[in-house]
């Protein structure tokens, strides 16, 4: 599964309940599990945030891109580093100014 998905056992440990409790909550619609194409339960990071009461929290962290060169003769290298890191940030949907 992706980085933000949890197997029932992982999610149960994360929130401090048993897998049986998660199954019961899913059946009772208290905390519905998502299902894989093979009908396996999984939970998301967003469900975790909601469970702990931290929904709609805006991430206030800033991403800093740092580049450097040793000499002024390497200005082209510096520009290439900046261009590469901006492209990487763009590809990863990291907001830049």
What is the set of active-site residues? 70
CB atoms within 10 A of CB 33: 19
49, two tokens: 């945030």
**Helix (H) / strand (E) containing 44:** strand 41-44
Tokens representing 10? 């992982």
Assess contact for 85 and 65: CB atoms under 8 A.
Answer: yes
CA angle 93, 60, 56 (to 5 degrees): 85
């Amino acid at each position: 599964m992706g980085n933000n998905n949890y197997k029932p056992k992982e999610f149960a440990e994360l929130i401090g309940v048993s897998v049986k409790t998660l199954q019961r909550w899913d059946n009772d619609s208290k905390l519905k599990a998502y299902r894989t194409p093979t009908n396996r339960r999984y939970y998301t990071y967003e469900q975790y945030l909601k469970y702990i009461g931290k929904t709609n929290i805006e991430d206030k962290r800033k991403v800093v891109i740092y580049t450097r060169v040793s000499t002024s003769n390497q200005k082209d290298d510096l520009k290439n580093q900046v261009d590469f890191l901006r492209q990487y940030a763009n590809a990863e949907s990291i907001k830049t100014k």
